[in-house]
């Protein structure tokens, strides 16, 4: 897949994004994770759901910018997230802080996440049935906190296929490509409909996107592009 060439522009709205995020007069924050190992675009990875007693035989987590896999444009990069927790649920996520909004201001927003996966609807049923994609926006920073011996996600993401109140997008991780050797790019959006979000008193919003997994073996996903478009109300 051919990537967009993105140019970061400071607009009169004062909204600014890191690295290669693109910003235009319509207030669009666009992350495409290029520039190799420095292409995080201000996004950070986190993992939640595992116990403090988990050892390397039960738990494995890796997060890094990497070349996209065969089936996509292998000259381009994405944010690669690998996770495995054999003892329970694991939420693997990326998060980003965006500043420059009007403090306590309200905005209409559409959110799009392009996720690459090798799990098709026809194969790897156990993965498709046990892993759910979720994304959302919050005025509070998404964090992993230690609660009663378990590293827990601090926002309401819901459990399994059920979406919590802090989740805007939720859906299957199944690709439309039956050949599981190839990754297919999935695009999630609010069905084209904007939702209303309100910035905090510092003019900030936090974004997160992740996979809520009850699958006990390794999963690998690539975030290829994340776009948020805003219109102040």
Residue found under tokens 């996903």: 221
- pLDDT for the residue numbered 194: 85
- Between 189 and 133, name the one with better pLDDT: 133
The per-residue pLDDT for range 152-211, each reduced to its tens digit, is 999 999 988 899 999 998 988 988 777 766 777 788 877 767 899 999 999 999 999 999
Question: What pLDDT does residue 34 have?
Answer: 85
For residues 169 and 36, the model is more confident at: 169
Taking the model in full, what pTM does it have? 0.85
What is the pLDDT at residue 11?
A: 30
pLDDT over 50 (residue 75): yes
Q: What is the percent of the chain with per-residue pLDDT over 70, rounded to a whole number?
A: 83
The answer to whether residue 12 scores a pLDDT higher than 80 is no
Q: What is the pLDDT of residue 221?
A: 95
Please determine, for residue 39, whether its predicted confidence score (pLDDT) is greater than 80.
no
For the chain, percent of residues with pLDDT exceeding 90? 60
Reading the block at residue 78, the tokens are 């994405």
Query: Given a cut of 60, is residue 124 above it in pLDDT?
Result: no
pLDDT value at 217 more than 70? yes
| pLDDT tier at 2, thresholds 50, 70, 90 | very low
**One-character DSSP codes across 71-83:** TB-TTSEEEEEEE
Q: What are phi and psi of 129, to 5 degrees?
A: -75, -20
> Which pLDDT tens digit goes with each residue over 189-204?
777 678 999 999 999 9
In the predicted model, is pLDDT for residue 44 greater than 70? yes
Residue of 12 and 109 predicted with greater confidence: 109
Question: Residue 141 in 3-state DSSP?
Answer: coil
Angle at 158 between CA 156 and CA 118, to 5 degrees: 120
Between vectors from CA 208 to CA 129 and to CA 210, what angle results, nearest 5°?
20
Over residues 101-128, the mean pLDDT reads: 86
Asked if 33 and 77 touch (Cβ cutoff 8 Å), the reply is: yes
Structural domains of the chain in order of their starting residue, each with its CATH number: 28-232 (2.60.120.260)
């Amino acid at each position: 897949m051919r990537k967009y060439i993105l140019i970061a522009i400071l607009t009169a709205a004062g909204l600014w994004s890191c690295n290669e995020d693109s910003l235009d007069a319509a207030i669009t924050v666009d992350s495409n994770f290029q520039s190799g190992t420095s292409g995080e675009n201000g996004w950070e990875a986190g993992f939640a759901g595992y116990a403090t007693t988990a050892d390397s035989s039960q738990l494995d987590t890796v997060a890094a910018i990497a070349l996209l896999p065969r089936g996509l444009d292998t000259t381009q990069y994405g944010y690669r997230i690998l996770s495995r927790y054999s003892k329970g649920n694991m939420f693997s996520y990326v998060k980003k802080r965006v500043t420059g909004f009007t403090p306590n201001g309200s905005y209409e927003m559409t959110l799009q996440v392009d996720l690459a996966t090798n799990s098709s609807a026809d194969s790897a049923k156990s993965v498709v049935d046990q892993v759910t994609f979720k994304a959302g926006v919050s005025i509070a920073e998404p964090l992993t906190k230690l609660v009663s011996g378990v590293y827990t996600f601090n926002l309401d993401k819901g459990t399994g296929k059920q979406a919590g109140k802090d989740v805007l997008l939720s859906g299957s991780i199944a690709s439309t490509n039956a050949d599981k050797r190839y990754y297919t790019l999935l695009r999630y959006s609010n069905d084209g409909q904007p939702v209303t979000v309100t910035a905090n008193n510092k003019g900030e919003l936090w974004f997160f996107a992740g996979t809520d997994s009850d699958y006990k073996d390794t999963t690998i996903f690539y975030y290829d592009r994340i776009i948020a478009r805003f219109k102040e109300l």
